[in-house]
């Protein structure tokens, strides 16, 4: 632990986000977690922030009905992060067998795990059904498999079907799952599809849930809430047709968008819950348990990445800073910069925020292709060798999407907690992969 002088009036956790990042960065430099030779790049997850975000999620869905908030593991699949979310009372949504294994390793009990892969193998289904993990089927063929595995026996697992309300997409095609041709779920509006699905619920009394996930970043709240309303309307219809309350749970997926342009909170969980109450009132009438699967909105704002500037130069009259953070840690931003822009903050070598007149410059990564840029023509105080750059909002979908091109190693990720006097302590979430551990090419 490092004791930093307590900021004037407010202790660490109460600092504004940018001041808090600066505070943590200075402590990380002091404690050698960032070092110009030995630790040129690192990630940080603010566990105090995570606890506050999870508390706001629980407040937005106070229950009754019963609510399980299953964190979408793909957003940050590091086991110590998942374990922290488990301690905070969340569940875990796994989209692959690998994420299931991580959920189990993080200590989630089976009744708090949801398994959502669109490509579940027979072995994976057998494991999930035996363990009592909730399963959402993605297709009619998968339903047939599940029926065969269950035989005449009862289901230990809550089992649902992912429905696609086919409402259209948001602003990022790759993130929009409720489109007409989406690969996910069973379409609700294709000719004959809804009737066939109603018949499946009639034939399989173990089908007790309806699941939907309308999309992620780029989908407005309104679109997501309308998609959930379609799923709830379908569940209401099943129960009405069958004359019994067979569907007892609605899994509303995740998808609350995050504002990557600033530190002000975008729409919160409370705003989303209000939109759901407006569009799908029967969701809250007490007849359904609710499962949520938020990922980005739980973690994005609670993590940042920091890297040293190794060199600077000018090209075509514009400054370029070559840093140690590029495509290996900001894969989506580098390959799809218009969909995934990140803010960049300039800091001095000791971690203090750098000020100075804004200068338009490129901020590049270390990889060997010209497009390895964190930002083009971005106005920032002019970076110099030895400075640090900070990428805020990288707590979700950055540490879990490493890219191994150029044999660039995965950096360390550190958990951060701040004491009442502003003292910062770090715990290792993931050790740095050292280049020497990578298999060296022969010849
Ligand atoms: C990706 C995904 C989520 C999480 O989405 P976020 O935008 O991170 O909240 C939830 N459920 C399913 C099925 C997903 O594919």
Taking CA atoms only, the protein residue closest to ligand 1 atom 3 is: 254
Compute the average pLDDT of residues 106-128.
Answer: 98
pLDDT of residue 12: 46
Compute the average pLDDT of residues 333-340.
Answer: 96
Residue 215 has pLDDT above 80, yes or no: no
Residue 422 C-alpha to ligand 1 middle, in angstroms?
Answer: 34
Q: What is the DSSP string of 375-438?
A: EEEEEEEPP-TT-EEEE-S-TTTTTT----GGGPPPPEEEEEEE-TTS-EEEEEEEPPPPGGGS
Listed range (178-187, 206-215, 254-263) with the worst mean pLDDT: 178-187
pLDDT of residue 438: 55
Nearest alpha-carbon partner for 149 in 129, 131, 135, 120? 129
Residue 215 C-alpha to ligand 1 middle, in angstroms?
Answer: 7
Q: Is 253 in the pocket of ligand 1 (CB under 6 A)?
A: yes
Residue 273 C-alpha to ligand 1 middle, in angstroms?
Answer: 17
396 close to 303: Cβ distance less than 8 angstroms = yes
Residue 109 has pLDDT above 50, yes or no: yes
Q: Is 296 in the pocket of ligand 1 (CB under 6 A)?
A: yes
pLDDT of residue 264: 80
179 close to 213: Cβ distance less than 8 angstroms = no
pLDDT of residue 173: 74
Q: Is 116 in the pocket of ligand 1 (CB under 6 A)?
A: yes
pLDDT of residue 248: 97
Nearest alpha-carbon partner for 232 in 172, 291, 175? 291
pLDDT of residue 152: 85
pLDDT of residue 189: 93
Compute the average pLDDT of residues 157-165.
Answer: 97
Residue 254 C-alpha to ligand 1 middle, in angstroms?
Answer: 5
Compute the average pLDDT of residues 173-184.
Answer: 79
Active site amino acids: 368
Question: Using one digit for the tens of pLDDT, what is the confidence trace for 277-325?
Answer: 999 999 999 899 999 999 999 999 999 999 999 999 999 999 999 999 9
Where residue 442 falls among pLDDT bands split at 50, 70, 90?
low
Atom of ligand 1 nearest to the CA of 295: 8
Q: What is the DSSP string of 117-171?
A: -TT--HHHHHHHHHHT-EEEE-SHHHHHHHHHHHTTSPPSS-EEEEEE------S
Q: Is 218 in the pocket of ligand 1 (CB under 6 A)?
A: no
Residue 153 has pLDDT above 90, yes or no: no
pTM of the model: 0.94
Q: Is 326 in the pocket of ligand 1 (CB under 6 A)?
A: no
Q: Is 361 in the pocket of ligand 1 (CB under 6 A)?
A: no
Candidate from 60, 293, 394, 398 with most ligand 1 atoms within 8 A of CB, to mutate: 293
Q: Is 292 in the pocket of ligand 1 (CB under 6 A)?
A: no
Say which CATH architecture domain 48-299 belongs to. Answer: Alpha-Beta Barrel (3.20)
Taking CA atoms only, the protein residue closest to ligand 1 atom 8 is: 295
Compute the average pLDDT of residues 27-33.
Answer: 98
Which of 19-23, 404-408, 437-441 is modeled with the greatest confidence? 19-23
Residue 6 has pLDDT above 50, yes or no: no
Compute the average pLDDT of residues 53-61.
Answer: 97
pLDDT of residue 216: 77
Residue 48 C-alpha to ligand 1 middle, in angstroms?
Answer: 23
Q: What is the DSSP string of 292-315?
A: E---HHHHGGGEEEEEEEEEEEEE
Q: Is 303 in the pocket of ligand 1 (CB under 6 A)?
A: no
Where residue 71 falls among pLDDT bands split at 50, 70, 90?
very high
Residue 3 has pLDDT above 50, yes or no: no
Compute the average pLDDT of residues 327-335.
Answer: 97
Candidate from 253, 299, 401 with most ligand 1 atoms within 8 A of CB, to mutate: 253
Parse the chain into domains and list their residue ranges. 17-46+302-431, 48-299
Residue 406 C-alpha to ligand 1 middle, in angstroms?
Answer: 29
Where residue 90 falls among pLDDT bands split at 50, 70, 90?
very high
Q: Is 393 in the pocket of ligand 1 (CB under 6 A)?
A: no
pLDDT of residue 11: 42
Atom of ligand 1 nearest to the CA of 136: 13
pLDDT of residue 443: 53
Q: Is 216 in the pocket of ligand 1 (CB under 6 A)?
A: yes
Candidate from 93, 165, 296, 298 with most ligand 1 atoms within 8 A of CB, to mutate: 93
Residue 370 has pLDDT above 50, yes or no: yes
Where residue 440 falls among pLDDT bands split at 50, 70, 90?
low
Residue 213 C-alpha to ligand 1 middle, in angstroms?
Answer: 7
Compute the average pLDDT of residues 160-167.
Answer: 94
Q: Is 57 in the pocket of ligand 1 (CB under 6 A)?
A: no
Say which CATH architecture domain 17-46+302-431 belongs to. Answer: Beta Barrel (2.40)
Candidate from 54, 68, 69, 72 with most ligand 1 atoms within 8 A of CB, to mutate: 72
Taking CA atoms only, the protein residue closest to ligand 1 atom 11 is: 253
Q: Is 162 in the pocket of ligand 1 (CB under 6 A)?
A: no
Torsion of CA 429, 432, 437, 439, to 10 degrees: 90
- Cα 32 to its chain centre, rounded Å, is 28
pLDDT of residue 382: 98
Length of the chain: 443
pLDDT of residue 439: 61
Residue 71 C-alpha to ligand 1 middle, in angstroms?
Answer: 9
Residue 68 C-alpha to ligand 1 middle, in angstroms?
Answer: 15
* Per-chain mean pLDDT for the chain: 93
162 close to 137: Cβ distance less than 8 angstroms = yes
Q: Could you tell me what percent of the chain has a pLDDT over 90? A: 84
Where residue 2 falls among pLDDT bands split at 50, 70, 90?
very low
pLDDT of residue 180: 86
Compute the average pLDDT of residues 233-262.
Answer: 96
Where residue 218 falls among pLDDT bands split at 50, 70, 90?
confident
């Amino acid at each position: 632990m490092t004791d930093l002088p307590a900021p004037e009036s407010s202790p660490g956790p109460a600092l504004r986000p940018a001041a808090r990042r600066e505070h943590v960065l200075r402590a990380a430099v002091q404690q050698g977690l960032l070092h110009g030779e030995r630790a040129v790049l690192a990630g940080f997850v603010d566990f105090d922030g995570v606890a506050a975000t999870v508390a706001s999620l629980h407040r937005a869905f106070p229950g009754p009905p019963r609510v399980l908030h299953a964190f979408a593991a793909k957003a940050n699949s590091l086991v110590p992060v998942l374990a922290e979310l488990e301690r905070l009372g969340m569940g875990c949504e796994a989209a692959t067998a690998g994420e299931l294994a991580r959920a189990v390793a993080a200590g989630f009990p089976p009744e708090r795990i949801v398994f959502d892969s669109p490509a579940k193998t027979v072995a994976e289904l057998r494991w999930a059904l035996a363990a009592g993990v909730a399963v959402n089927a993605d297709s009619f063929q998968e339903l047939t498999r599940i029926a065969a595995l269950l035989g005449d026996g009862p289901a230990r697992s809550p089992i649902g079907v992912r429905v696609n309300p086919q409402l259209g997409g948001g602003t990022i095609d790759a993130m929009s799952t409720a489109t007409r041709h989406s690969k996910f779920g069973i379409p609700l509006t294709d000719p004959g599809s809804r009737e066939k699905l109603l018949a499946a619920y009639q034939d399989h009394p173990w089908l007790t849930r309806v699941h939907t996930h309308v999309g992620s970043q780029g989908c407005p709240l309104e679109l997501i809430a309308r998609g959930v309303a379609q799923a709830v309307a379908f569940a209401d219809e099943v129960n009405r047709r069958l004359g019994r309350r067979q569907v007892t749970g609605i899994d509303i997926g995740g998808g609350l968008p995050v504002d990557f342009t600033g530190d002000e909170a975008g729409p919160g969980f409370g705003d989303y819950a209000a939109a759901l109450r407006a569009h799908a009132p029967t969701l809250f009438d007490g007849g359904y348990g609710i499962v949520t699967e938020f990922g980005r909105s739980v973690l994005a704002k609670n993590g940042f990445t920091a890297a040293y500037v190794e060199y600077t130069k000018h090209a075509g009259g514009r400054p370029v800073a070559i840093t140690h953070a590029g495509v290996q840690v900001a894969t989506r931003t580098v390959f799809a910069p218009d969909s995934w822009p990140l803010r960049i903050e300039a800091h001095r070598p000791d971690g203090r925020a750098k000020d100075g007149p804004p200068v338009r410059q490129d901020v590049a990564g270390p990889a060997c292709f010209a497009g390895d840029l964190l930002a083009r023509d971005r106005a920032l105080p002019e970076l110099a060798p030895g400075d640090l750059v900070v990428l805020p909002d990288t707590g979700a979908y950055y540490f879990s999407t490493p890219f191994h091109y150029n044999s660039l190693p995965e950096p360390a990720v550190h958990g951060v907690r701040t004491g009442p006097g502003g003292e910062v302590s770090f715990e290792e979430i993931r050790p740095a992969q050292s280049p020497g551990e990578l298999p060296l090419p022969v010849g």
